[in-house]
């Protein structure tokens, strides 16, 4: 009987051993190719997100890998901040009595939402919106408000599982979606559900090659680079796949998150302020798509500004 033999390079992840990692690939990451799976696990490891705890999981559609993060991971990361004071999220239904307005925080010139009234009885009717607040000591609440139409692209997704989850559990999915945004804004969480190119296989499913017991095992030992084929692909007779370098993708996500967190220390929190700061201080050859090296240079500049600011405050 033919056996499927895949030996993974030692890739420890906390308490996960190689057998557990292979199990992850064969269950929640079964749609991932070998390059995509290594990319997914590298991102998970760099962020400390455990796939077995539903903190991170992969989705693959049309050859594109998108790491998805569970709400529990957002809360865990937010709790690491000593000034974390929780979060709140509520659905708004068509029969609710609801009104709100915006106010501006004079301290950081950031707008935030104030709920004037939200009361309801039953039946509440259809869901028409949702709002969430992330609370951080010393700051006005970080708020996100969305109408139901703003998640129509998720409810009508071409990804079957995503579409089913959003339509079968609309309220729960809507609350999780908006809570993630509020927590991310409030605590500068440097990760997001981002589409990554794992191969160019199009819509064709990836099938691992069955090999005989006597044959040499497929050993994945080297990191995948943009012009390198994995031995798994070679064994299957696959053409060379163009993939994003694993280490660079993971590092870029970490650097982006660090930049956001450091800018908050300088009091730069709004999207507009962050964009203005980056346009002014980052010397990028292509402003719309700065390289990893250019991002690192900006990070060093920000850290120097923070250090200079600290020196000014010392007596």
Using DSSP's 3-state secondary structure scheme, residue 51 falls into helix
> Residue 199: which residues within 8 A CB-CB, separation 6 or more?
33, 35, 36, 63, 206, 241, 242, 243
* Res 240: pLDDT: 33
Contacts for 290-293 with beta carbons within 8 Å, 24 or more apart? 292/248, 292/251, 292/252, 292/255
Alpha helices of the chain — where are they, by DSSP H? 18-26, 34-47, 71-79, 152-155, 160-168, 170-187, 231-235, 246-265, 271-281, 292-313
* Res 310: pLDDT: 65
* Res 200: pLDDT: 35
* Res 248: pLDDT: 58
Using DSSP's 3-state secondary structure scheme, residue 147 falls into strand
For the chain, helix, strand, coil in percent to 5 are 40, 20, 35
For the chain, which residues make up each domain, given as ranges?
A: 6-63+198-235, 81-187, 246-313
The owner of tokens 């991170």 is 56
Q: Minimal CA–CA distance to 62: which of 163, 246, 198, 230?
A: 198
* Res 110: pLDDT: 87
* Res 296: pLDDT: 84
- What does the alpha-carbon distance between residue 306 and residue 99 come to, in Å, rounded to a whole number? 40
**Residues 194 and 253: beta-carbon distance below 8 Å:** yes
For each of the chain's 315 residues, which pLDDT tens digit applies? 333 334 444 455 666 778 888 889 999 999 999 999 999 998 888 888 999 888 999 988 888 888 999 999 999 999 999 999 999 999 999 999 999 999 998 877 889 999 999 999 999 999 999 999 999 999 999 999 999 999 999 999 887 788 899 999 999 999 999 999 999 999 988 776 554 434 434 434 433 333 333 333 333 333 434 333 333 333 333 333 333 444 455 667 777 778 888 888 888 887 778 878 888 888 777 766 678 788 888 888 888 888 877 665 555
- What does the alpha-carbon distance between residue 4 and residue 102 come to, in Å, rounded to a whole number? 59
């Amino acid at each position: 009987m033919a056996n499927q033999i895949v030996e993974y390079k030692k890739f420890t992840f906390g308490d996960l051993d190689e057998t557990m990692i292979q199990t992850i690939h064969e269950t929640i990451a079964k749609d991932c190719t070998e390059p995509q799976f290594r990319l997914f696990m590298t991102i998970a490891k760099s962020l400390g997100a455990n796939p077995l705890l539903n903190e991170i999981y992969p989705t693959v559609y049309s050859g594109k890998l998108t790491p998805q993060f569970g709400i529990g991971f957002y809360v865990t990361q937010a709790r690491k901040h000593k000034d974390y004071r929780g979060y709140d999220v509520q659905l708004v239904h068509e029969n609710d009595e609801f009104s709100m307005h915006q106010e501006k925080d004079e301290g950081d010139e950031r707008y935030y939402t104030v709920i004037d009234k939200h009361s309801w009885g039953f039946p509440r009717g259809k869901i028409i919106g949702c709002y969430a607040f992330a609370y951080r000591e010393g700051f006005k609440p970080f708020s996100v408000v969305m109408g139901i139409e703003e998640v129509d692209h998720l409810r009508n997704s071409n990804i079957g599982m995503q579409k089913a989850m959003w339509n079968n559990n609309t309220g729960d999915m809507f609350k999780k979606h908006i809570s993630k945004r509020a927590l991310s804004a409030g605590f500068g969480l440097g990760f997001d559900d981002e589409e990554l190119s794992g191969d160019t296989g199009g819509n064709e499913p990836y099938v691992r090659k069955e090999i005989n017991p006597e044959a040499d095992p497929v050993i994945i030992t080297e990191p995948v680079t943009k012009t390198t084929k994995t031995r798994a692909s070679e064994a299957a007779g696959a053409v060379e796949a163009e993939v994003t370098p694993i280490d660079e993708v993971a590092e870029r996500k970490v650097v982006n998150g660090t930049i956001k967190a450091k800018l908050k220390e300088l009091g730069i929190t709004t999207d507009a302020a962050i964009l203005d700061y980056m346009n002014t201080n980052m010397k990028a050859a292509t402003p719309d798509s700065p390289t990893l090296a250019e991002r690192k240079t900006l990070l060093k500049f920000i850290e120097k500004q923070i250090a200079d600011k600290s020196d000014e405050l010392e007596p």
